[in-house]
Amino acid sequence: MLQLDKVRKVFPAAPEPYVALDGVDLEVADGEILCLLGPSGCGKSTLLNVLAGFERPSAGSVSCRGAPVRGAGRDRVMFFQDAGSALFPWLNVEENVRFGLRVRKVPKAQWAGIIDNYLRMVDLDRHRNKFPAQLSGGMRQRLQIARALAVEPAVLLMDEPFAALDALTRRRMHAVLLEIWQRTGKTIVFVTHDIAEAITLGDRIGIMSAGPCSIISKIIDLDLPRPRDLADPAVARLFNDIERLLAPDIARAEERAAH
Ligand SMILES: Nc1ncnc2c1ncn2[C@@H]1O[C@H](COP(=O)(O)OP(=O)(O)O)[C@@H](O)[C@H]1O
Ligand SMILES: [Mg+2]
Protein backbone atom coordinates (compact mmCIF):
# COMPACT_ATOMS: atom_id res chain seq x y z
CA MET A 1 0.00 0.00 0.00
CA LEU A 2 2.79 2.39 0.97
CA GLN A 3 6.42 2.32 0.05
CA LEU A 4 9.26 4.52 1.21
CA ASP A 5 12.61 4.19 -0.46
CA LYS A 6 15.71 5.84 1.03
CA VAL A 7 13.70 8.81 2.26
CA ARG A 8 15.74 11.72 3.54
CA LYS A 9 14.36 14.90 5.08
CA VAL A 10 16.49 17.93 5.80
CA PHE A 11 15.10 21.05 7.50
CA PRO A 12 16.75 24.43 7.14
CA ALA A 13 18.18 25.38 10.52
CA ALA A 14 20.98 27.47 12.01
CA PRO A 15 23.93 27.08 12.24
CA GLU A 16 23.48 24.14 9.86
CA PRO A 17 20.60 22.25 8.22
CA TYR A 18 19.03 19.58 10.40
CA VAL A 19 18.89 16.09 8.92
CA ALA A 20 15.74 14.62 10.48
CA LEU A 21 15.47 11.45 8.37
CA ASP A 22 18.37 9.86 6.60
CA GLY A 23 17.50 6.87 4.46
CA VAL A 24 14.19 5.52 5.70
CA ASP A 25 13.05 2.36 3.94
CA LEU A 26 9.59 1.01 4.70
CA GLU A 27 6.81 -1.01 3.16
CA VAL A 28 3.33 -1.03 4.61
CA ALA A 29 1.03 -3.82 3.45
CA ASP A 30 -2.62 -3.37 2.51
CA GLY A 31 -4.77 -3.77 5.63
CA GLU A 32 -2.05 -3.88 8.24
CA ILE A 33 -1.51 -1.73 11.32
CA LEU A 34 2.07 -0.57 11.40
CA CYS A 35 3.12 1.24 14.56
CA LEU A 36 6.05 3.63 14.44
CA LEU A 37 7.73 3.77 17.81
CA GLY A 38 10.60 6.02 18.79
CA PRO A 39 11.79 8.64 21.26
CA SER A 40 10.38 12.13 21.18
CA GLY A 41 11.98 14.28 18.46
CA CYS A 42 13.19 11.31 16.41
CA GLY A 43 11.15 12.26 13.35
CA LYS A 44 7.94 10.26 13.66
CA SER A 45 5.69 13.19 12.76
CA THR A 46 8.03 14.16 9.94
CA LEU A 47 7.78 10.67 8.50
CA LEU A 48 4.00 10.69 8.79
CA ASN A 49 3.85 14.10 7.10
CA VAL A 50 5.92 12.72 4.25
CA LEU A 51 3.50 9.79 3.90
CA ALA A 52 0.57 12.21 3.95
CA GLY A 53 2.17 14.30 1.25
CA PHE A 54 2.29 17.39 3.49
CA GLU A 55 6.10 17.37 3.35
CA ARG A 56 8.23 16.57 0.31
CA PRO A 57 11.21 14.34 1.02
CA SER A 58 14.58 15.99 0.33
CA ALA A 59 15.65 12.77 -1.39
CA GLY A 60 14.24 9.30 -1.92
CA SER A 61 10.74 8.31 -2.98
CA VAL A 62 7.30 7.74 -1.51
CA SER A 63 4.52 5.87 -3.23
CA CYS A 64 0.99 4.79 -2.47
CA ARG A 65 -0.39 1.81 -4.41
CA GLY A 66 2.54 2.11 -6.74
CA ALA A 67 1.93 5.76 -7.66
CA PRO A 68 4.34 8.46 -6.48
CA VAL A 69 2.96 10.64 -3.68
CA ARG A 70 3.08 14.27 -4.83
CA GLY A 71 0.85 15.88 -2.20
CA ALA A 72 -2.16 15.23 -0.01
CA GLY A 73 -4.52 12.74 -1.57
CA ARG A 74 -8.00 11.43 -1.01
CA ASP A 75 -6.60 7.94 -0.41
CA ARG A 76 -4.74 9.03 2.75
CA VAL A 77 -6.12 10.92 5.74
CA MET A 78 -4.19 12.34 8.65
CA PHE A 79 -5.52 12.09 12.14
CA PHE A 80 -4.29 14.36 14.94
CA GLN A 81 -3.80 14.17 18.67
CA ASP A 82 -5.54 17.46 19.22
CA ALA A 83 -9.13 16.80 18.14
CA GLY A 84 -10.00 20.24 19.50
CA SER A 85 -8.14 21.97 16.70
CA ALA A 86 -8.91 19.33 14.04
CA LEU A 87 -12.69 19.66 14.48
CA PHE A 88 -14.78 22.72 13.67
CA PRO A 89 -16.17 24.11 16.94
CA TRP A 90 -19.03 25.93 15.18
CA LEU A 91 -20.29 22.77 13.48
CA ASN A 92 -22.15 20.02 15.32
CA VAL A 93 -21.16 16.34 15.20
CA GLU A 94 -23.11 15.55 12.06
CA GLU A 95 -21.99 18.73 10.29
CA ASN A 96 -18.34 18.02 11.09
CA VAL A 97 -18.60 14.72 9.22
CA ARG A 98 -20.58 16.30 6.39
CA PHE A 99 -17.98 19.02 5.94
CA GLY A 100 -15.36 16.40 5.05
CA LEU A 101 -17.70 14.83 2.49
CA ARG A 102 -18.34 18.20 0.84
CA VAL A 103 -14.63 19.03 0.69
CA ARG A 104 -13.84 15.66 -0.84
CA LYS A 105 -16.70 16.11 -3.34
CA VAL A 106 -18.61 12.98 -2.36
CA PRO A 107 -21.99 13.03 -4.22
CA LYS A 108 -24.68 14.66 -2.07
CA ALA A 109 -27.12 11.76 -2.40
CA GLN A 110 -24.72 9.55 -0.44
CA TRP A 111 -24.12 11.93 2.49
CA ALA A 112 -26.93 10.87 4.85
CA GLY A 113 -26.18 7.16 4.53
CA ILE A 114 -22.44 7.62 5.03
CA ILE A 115 -22.92 9.92 8.04
CA ASP A 116 -25.34 7.45 9.71
CA ASN A 117 -23.00 4.53 9.09
CA TYR A 118 -19.87 6.07 10.58
CA LEU A 119 -21.53 7.89 13.48
CA ARG A 120 -23.07 4.57 14.47
CA MET A 121 -19.70 2.84 14.11
CA VAL A 122 -18.12 5.19 16.67
CA ASP A 123 -21.25 5.22 18.84
CA LEU A 124 -21.99 8.92 18.38
CA ASP A 125 -25.30 8.73 16.54
CA ARG A 126 -27.17 9.74 19.71
CA HIS A 127 -25.00 12.87 19.96
CA ARG A 128 -25.23 14.08 16.39
CA ASN A 129 -26.57 17.52 17.29
CA LYS A 130 -23.95 18.29 19.93
CA PHE A 131 -21.01 20.61 19.34
CA PRO A 132 -17.38 19.53 19.94
CA ALA A 133 -17.20 21.56 23.18
CA GLN A 134 -20.08 19.47 24.56
CA LEU A 135 -18.20 16.19 23.99
CA SER A 136 -15.64 14.38 26.15
CA GLY A 137 -12.05 13.96 24.89
CA GLY A 138 -12.74 10.36 23.85
CA MET A 139 -15.93 11.36 22.02
CA ARG A 140 -14.07 14.08 20.14
CA GLN A 141 -11.49 11.52 19.01
CA ARG A 142 -14.29 9.16 17.97
CA LEU A 143 -15.80 12.01 15.95
CA GLN A 144 -12.44 12.60 14.32
CA ILE A 145 -12.32 8.90 13.41
CA ALA A 146 -15.83 9.02 11.91
CA ARG A 147 -14.94 12.10 9.87
CA ALA A 148 -11.72 10.49 8.63
CA LEU A 149 -13.43 7.23 7.68
CA ALA A 150 -16.38 8.94 6.00
CA VAL A 151 -14.28 9.96 3.01
CA GLU A 152 -13.32 6.28 2.65
CA PRO A 153 -9.56 6.60 2.44
CA ALA A 154 -7.38 3.52 2.03
CA VAL A 155 -4.89 4.70 4.64
CA LEU A 156 -5.28 6.27 8.08
CA LEU A 157 -2.20 8.14 9.30
CA MET A 158 -2.44 8.64 13.05
CA ASP A 159 0.00 10.86 14.94
CA GLU A 160 -0.09 9.97 18.66
CA PRO A 161 -3.86 10.33 18.47
CA PHE A 162 -4.68 9.16 22.00
CA ALA A 163 -1.68 10.51 23.90
CA ALA A 164 -3.65 13.28 25.61
CA LEU A 165 -6.46 11.01 26.81
CA ASP A 166 -6.67 9.51 30.29
CA ALA A 167 -5.61 5.84 30.58
CA LEU A 168 -9.11 4.36 30.68
CA THR A 169 -10.35 6.38 27.72
CA ARG A 170 -7.21 5.46 25.81
CA ARG A 171 -7.88 1.75 26.39
CA ARG A 172 -11.42 2.20 25.16
CA MET A 173 -10.13 4.00 22.04
CA HIS A 174 -7.78 1.12 21.33
CA ALA A 175 -10.73 -1.27 21.38
CA VAL A 176 -12.79 1.06 19.17
CA LEU A 177 -9.97 1.44 16.67
CA LEU A 178 -9.27 -2.30 16.49
CA GLU A 179 -12.97 -3.05 16.01
CA ILE A 180 -13.23 -0.49 13.20
CA TRP A 181 -10.05 -1.81 11.63
CA GLN A 182 -11.43 -5.35 11.68
CA ARG A 183 -14.64 -4.15 10.04
CA THR A 184 -13.13 -1.88 7.40
CA GLY A 185 -9.71 -3.43 6.69
CA LYS A 186 -8.02 -0.02 6.51
CA THR A 187 -4.27 0.30 6.37
CA ILE A 188 -3.13 2.19 9.47
CA VAL A 189 0.18 3.83 10.24
CA PHE A 190 0.06 4.66 13.93
CA VAL A 191 2.75 6.81 15.55
CA THR A 192 3.36 6.49 19.26
CA HIS A 193 6.11 6.78 21.85
CA ASP A 194 4.27 4.31 24.10
CA ILE A 195 5.53 0.72 23.90
CA ALA A 196 2.34 -0.74 25.41
CA GLU A 197 0.21 1.07 22.84
CA ALA A 198 2.36 -0.18 19.96
CA ILE A 199 2.07 -3.76 21.24
CA THR A 200 -1.69 -3.46 21.78
CA LEU A 201 -2.36 -2.27 18.24
CA GLY A 202 0.35 -3.28 15.81
CA ASP A 203 0.72 -6.10 13.32
CA ARG A 204 4.29 -4.83 13.12
CA ILE A 205 6.29 -2.24 15.00
CA GLY A 206 8.87 -0.09 13.24
CA ILE A 207 11.47 1.14 15.71
CA MET A 208 12.96 4.55 14.90
CA SER A 209 16.39 5.60 16.08
CA ALA A 210 16.96 8.96 17.79
CA GLY A 211 17.77 11.92 15.53
CA PRO A 212 19.56 13.44 13.82
CA CYS A 213 19.66 11.12 10.83
CA SER A 214 16.86 8.84 12.03
CA ILE A 215 16.14 5.58 10.32
CA ILE A 216 13.83 2.68 10.97
CA SER A 217 16.37 0.53 12.73
CA LYS A 218 14.25 -2.55 13.27
CA ILE A 219 10.89 -4.03 12.33
CA ILE A 220 9.24 -6.35 14.83
CA ASP A 221 6.54 -8.79 13.73
CA LEU A 222 3.87 -9.20 16.39
CA ASP A 223 2.75 -12.73 15.97
CA LEU A 224 0.38 -12.58 18.95
CA PRO A 225 -3.40 -12.98 19.06
CA ARG A 226 -5.52 -9.97 20.04
CA PRO A 227 -6.56 -8.71 22.50
CA ARG A 228 -3.07 -8.61 23.95
CA ASP A 229 -2.67 -8.57 27.68
CA LEU A 230 0.53 -7.08 29.11
CA ALA A 231 0.29 -9.54 31.99
CA ASP A 232 0.66 -12.42 29.52
CA PRO A 233 4.28 -13.65 29.82
CA ALA A 234 4.92 -13.66 26.05
CA VAL A 235 3.65 -10.07 25.78
CA ALA A 236 5.58 -8.96 28.86
CA ARG A 237 8.78 -10.45 27.43
CA LEU A 238 8.26 -8.58 24.18
CA PHE A 239 7.67 -5.36 26.12
CA ASN A 240 10.97 -5.80 27.95
CA ASP A 241 12.84 -6.61 24.75
CA ILE A 242 11.54 -3.46 23.07
CA GLU A 243 12.29 -1.36 26.14
CA ARG A 244 15.86 -2.60 26.14
CA LEU A 245 16.14 -1.98 22.41
CA LEU A 246 14.92 1.63 22.77
CA ALA A 247 16.90 2.56 25.88
CA PRO A 248 20.08 3.87 24.18
CA ASP A 249 18.04 5.98 21.73
CA ILE A 250 15.87 7.42 24.48
CA ALA A 251 19.03 8.39 26.36
CA ARG A 252 20.44 9.97 23.21
CA ALA A 253 17.20 11.91 22.58
CA GLU A 254 17.20 13.19 26.17
CA GLU A 255 20.77 14.31 25.90
CA ARG A 256 20.03 16.25 22.74
CA ALA A 257 16.89 17.85 24.20
CA ALA A 258 18.91 19.04 27.22
CA HIS A 259 21.31 21.09 25.08
N1 LIG B 1 9.61 22.46 10.02
C2 LIG B 1 10.71 22.13 10.69
N3 LIG B 1 11.81 22.92 10.65
C4 LIG B 1 12.93 22.60 11.33
N5 LIG B 1 13.08 21.51 12.09
C6 LIG B 1 12.02 20.67 12.17
C7 LIG B 1 10.78 20.94 11.49
N8 LIG B 1 9.91 19.93 11.78
C9 LIG B 1 10.58 19.10 12.59
N10 LIG B 1 11.84 19.53 12.82
C11 LIG B 1 12.85 18.85 13.64
O12 LIG B 1 12.96 17.51 13.19
C13 LIG B 1 13.06 16.62 14.30
C14 LIG B 1 11.97 15.59 14.26
O15 LIG B 1 10.73 16.21 14.58
P16 LIG B 1 9.36 15.38 14.67
O17 LIG B 1 9.16 14.66 13.40
O18 LIG B 1 8.31 16.33 15.10
O19 LIG B 1 9.69 14.33 15.84
P20 LIG B 1 8.68 13.38 16.67
O21 LIG B 1 7.34 13.46 16.05
O22 LIG B 1 9.31 12.03 16.62
O23 LIG B 1 8.68 13.90 18.10
C24 LIG B 1 13.03 17.47 15.54
O25 LIG B 1 14.36 17.68 15.98
C26 LIG B 1 12.42 18.77 15.09
O27 LIG B 1 12.92 19.84 15.84
MG1 LIG C 1 5.50 14.04 16.79
Q: Spell out which residues line ligand 1, taking CB within 6 angstroms.
A: 11, 13, 18, 20, 38, 40-46, 211
Q: Which ligand is nearest to the CA of 17?
A: 1
Q: Cα separations (Å) of 153 from 79, 87, 148? A: 12, 18, 8
* H/E element, 257: helix 233-258
Q: Which ligand is nearest to the CA of 163?
A: 2
Q: Which ligand is nearest to the CA of 13?
A: 1
Cα(215)–Cα(25) distance, rounded to whole angstroms? Answer: 8
69 within 8 A of 9, measured Cβ to Cβ: no
Nearest CA to ligand 1 atom 26: 41
Give pLDDT, residue 218: 96
Give pLDDT, residue 74: 86
Give pLDDT, residue 50: 97
Cα(146)–Cα(158) distance, rounded to whole angstroms? Answer: 13
Atom of ligand 1 nearest to the CA of 208: 22
How large is the C-alpha radius of gyration of the chain? 19
pLDDT in tens, 160-181: 999 989 999 999 999 999 999 9
pLDDT in tens, 200-213: 999 999 999 998 99
Name the residue among 193, 194, 218, 211 with its Cα closest to residue 249: 211
Sign of the CA dihedral with 62 first, then 68, 71, and 74 last: negative
Nearest CA to ligand 1 atom 8: 46
- Does the domain spanning 2-75+153-258 belong to CATH 3.40.50.300? yes
Sign of the CA dihedral with 194 first, then 80, 40, and 6 last: positive
Q: In sequence order, what are the residues at sequence separation of 6 or more whose Cβ sits closer than 8 angstroms to the Cβ of residue 216?
A: 24, 25, 26, 36, 206, 207, 208, 209
Cα(28)–Cα(46) distance, rounded to whole angstroms? Answer: 17
Every domain of the chain and the residues it spans: 2-75+153-258
Atom of ligand 1 nearest to the CA of 191: 21
141 within 8 A of 161, measured Cβ to Cβ: yes
101 within 8 A of 151, measured Cβ to Cβ: yes
Q: What is the mean pLDDT of residues 60-85?
A: 90
Atom of ligand 1 nearest to the CA of 18: 5
89 within 8 A of 132, measured Cβ to Cβ: yes
